[in-house]
Structure 1
Amino acid sequence: MPQAEKVAHLADYADTAERQPLLALRGISKTFGTVKALDDLGVAIRPGEFITVVGPSGCGKSTLFNIVAGLEEPDAGGSLAFLGKPSRARDLLGRVAFMPQRDLLLPWRTVIDNAILAVELEGVRRADARRQALAMLPEFGLTGFEQRYPHELSGGMRQRVALMRTFMFKRDLMLLDEPFGALDALTRSMMQRWLLDVWQKHRRTILFITHDVDEALFLGDRVMVMTARPGRVKLEQPVNLPRPRRPEIVTSPEFIALKRTLLDAIEEESMKSFTTSDKPAGTA
């Protein structure tokens, strides 16, 4: 093969690899007894993307996360591919980093020892894990707090420790389930900007659940709006806003127009869930 053709071939291969989804879900459904939580859900997530997920309460966001984390198997009939290979949900257990809503810090462990917990459980020597964590403390805003205990930290600092633990568990895909939901508005805004700085440095792929539309738009490359139960994807809204995202972008006409689109979609689905819950038993 001539050199020019070889270079072009390699470039095409690299471009194809970059565009190949890290995670692809097709026709995913999940039923618990008589309740159908998800129905024919499909989404593809590319490497390095920051995808935010919004939707009415009870739409199956947490069920989706549990499937992607390998904690729940979907119903038969759908397909799941990870890194281009067909997989079962259970194959993803331990291959995806998952941070739930609560920080789940162990009260008897210091900041540094909470941060290294996941890698320590993987078999990394404690001394080596601590060295790695100490090098990461500055970018997580925790310098000088390595020997503090969880009860000595603010809510924002506890979340930074939990996120550091998640980042140290080096996985291609990170699932963040409303990590800032319990924080006050000012701390939440600061944490959002801090998270984007860390994400842009490490470029991990992130799937992020939130109930806050402003947060979804400010953080995401795409916002995935889910329908009322049974959950499926109603809308995938690209967020073509410049990065790095500045705080003032939330008052720009472009941001406000995107917010209106998302709010309309969510309100429509929320009304459906109210209508369904108001129906007498036995009605269709």
Structure 2
Amino acid sequence: MPPSSTSTAMAPSSSSVSSAATAPAVAGEKPPLLELVNLWKRFGDGPAQVTAVSNVNLKIREGEFVCLVGPSGCGKSTLFNMVGGLLPADDDGSILMHGRPMADGALLGKVSFMPQRDLLFAWRNVVDNAILGLEVEGTPKAAARARALEMLPDFGLKGFEKHYPHQLSGGMRQRVALMRTFLFERDMILLDEPFGALDALTRAMMQRWLLDIWARYRRTVLFITHDIDEAIFLGDRVVVMTSRPGTIKCDEVIELPRPRDAGIVTSPEFIEIKRRLLGAIEEEARKSFVSTTGGAG
């Protein structure tokens, strides 16, 4: 088991904008875990062609928790699917892992990916759902089950080993899906709105629990959310995308102390970060609305 570890549009102070996406590497410094270089994705041809993602440049260091936000339709999921190896990037740009370019298909299996739905199999119990990725990878079932049983307490699932999905609450189902993602030991974890379908109280509990798990296992996380409070609460950085075609509008370093508890959302520092980021997102949402309605009010 891994060891335990404890330019926005609103003119923020210079310390609030991350230089991680643009600063040159220092001699001898490790390359970023993930680097997106001039990344594009277009769908279709000719007049009907749609550019979903344009000229995205982003660096994510090992162990960072980076949240990705933006208006609906800005290309967040398209970007995720490219990083996850489910969609090829256009020839204009490239994706690098540990400084090495990833050719088409090479990213499959290099990251752990959890979509919005838990996608648990109804006929498999908690442990058998959790070890699915390991089984597909070729890990012997006995060894996979032993690893899952060791991890159950960390995910609040001890005593539920033989329960089936229909016997679990929504939050417990999400914990099973996250456990499956963490068991599939990859350096980077992609989480696409994993708490979006949960009620507000369960969602808040799951956010605090996820931070505890992240601190313990210290994986690198790229997290999509529409909830700006969630992004600030969870992230080391919050990256805002523009309206389509999506590119990086701003990259805010969240300099709030860790560990974080529920009370931090009422702090003046949290509220000021939220003001800046909401301004950036609302500006892009207005652009998106105007482009799809022709300016109709």
Q: TM-score, normalised by structure 2?
A: 0.88
Residue of structure 2 equivalent to 1:22: 33
Alignment pair present for 1:257 and 2:275: no
Per-residue displacement from partner, 1:42-85 (whole Å, max 9, x unpaired)? 10000000000000000000000000000111111112211111
- Do 1:223 and 1:237's aligned partners in 2 also have CA atoms closer than 8 Å? yes
| Residue from 166, 169, 174 that aligns with 2:181 | 166
Alpha-carbon shift at residue 124 of structure 1 (Å): 1.1
Alpha-carbon distance in structure 1 between the residues aligned to 2:291 and 2:27: 48
Ranges of 4+ aligned residues in structure 1 off by more than 4 Å: none
Q: Please report how far the alpha carbon of residue 86 of structure 1 lies from its aligned counterpart in structure 2 after TM superposition.
A: 1.7
Cα pair 1:80 1:89 within 8 Å, conserved: no
Paired residues of 1:176 and 1:206 also in contact (CA < 8 A)? yes
Residue aligning to 1:51: 66
Match of 1:75? 90
How far has the Cα of 1:14 moved from its partner? 11
Number of aligned pairs? 266
Counterparts of 2:191 and 2:101, CA distance in 1: 24
SS of the residue aligned with 1:90? coil
Which residue of 2 is the match for residue 179 of structure 1? 194
C-alpha distance in structure 1 between counterparts of 2:99 and 2:28, whole Å: 14
Looking at structure 2, the residues matched to 232 and 90 of structure 1 have their Cα atoms a distance apart, in angstroms, of: 23
Q: 1:15 to 1:250 in 2, by over 3 A?
A: farther
Q: What is the letter of the counterpart of residue 289 of structure 2?
A: F
Letter in 1 for 2:34: L
Based on CA coordinates, which of the two structures has the bigger radius of gyration? 1
> Which amino acid is the alignment partner of residue 16 of structure 1?
E
**SS of the residue 1:129 aligns to:** helix
Q: Quick check: 1:110–1:149 contact (8 Å CA) kept in 2? A: yes
Question: 1:35 deviation in Å?
Answer: 0.8
One-letter amino acid of the counterpart of residue 186, structure 2: R
Q: Is the 8 A contact 1:67 1:89 kept in 2?
A: no
Partners of 1:148 and 1:250 lie apart in 2 by: 35
How far does residue 24 in structure 1 lie from its aligned partner after superposition? Answer: 0.6
CA offsets, 1:173-221, max 9 Å, x none?
Answer: 0000000000000000000000000000111000000000000000000
> Once superposed, what is the RMSD of the aligned Cα atoms?
1.3
Q: Is 1:62 the counterpart of 2:62 in the alignment?
A: no
Greater RCO, CA 8 A, separation 6+: 2
Give the whole-Å Cα distance in 2 for the aligned partners of 1:16 and 1:257.
33
SS of residue matched to 2:68 = strand
User: Could you tell which deviates more after superposition, 271-280 or 209-218?
Assistant: 271-280
Q: Percent identity at matched positions?
A: 63
Give 2:228's match in structure 1, choosing from 213, 228, 246: 213
Q: 5+ unaligned residues in a row in structure 1: which ranges?
A: 1-12
Match of 1:272 among 281, 287, 294: 287
Q: Deviations over 1:111-146 (max 9, x none)?
A: 010001100111111111111111110010001101
CA contact 1:68–1:89 (8 Å) conserved in 2 = no
Matched, 1:88 2:103: yes
Q: Specify which of 116, 125, 143 is matched with residue 110 of structure 1.
A: 125
Q: Secondary structure at the match of 1:109?
A: coil
Q: Distance in 1 between matches of 2:214 and 2:265?
A: 19
Q: Which has the higher helix share?
A: 1
Q: Tell me the alpha carbon deviations over residues 228-260 of structure 1, each in whole angstroms, 9 at most, x when there is no partner.
A: 000000010000000011110000000000000
Provide the secondary structure at the position in 2 that maps to 1:80: strand
What code does the residue aligned with 1:63 have?
T
Q: State whether structure 2 residue 123 is matched by structure 1 residue 134.
A: no
Which consecutive unaligned segments of at least 5 residues does structure 2 have?
1-25
> Which residue is equivalent to 1:238?
253
What's the counterpart of residue 10 of structure 1?
A: none
Distance in 1 between residues matched to 2:27 and 2:89, nearest whole Å: 32
The aligned counterpart of 1:154 is 169
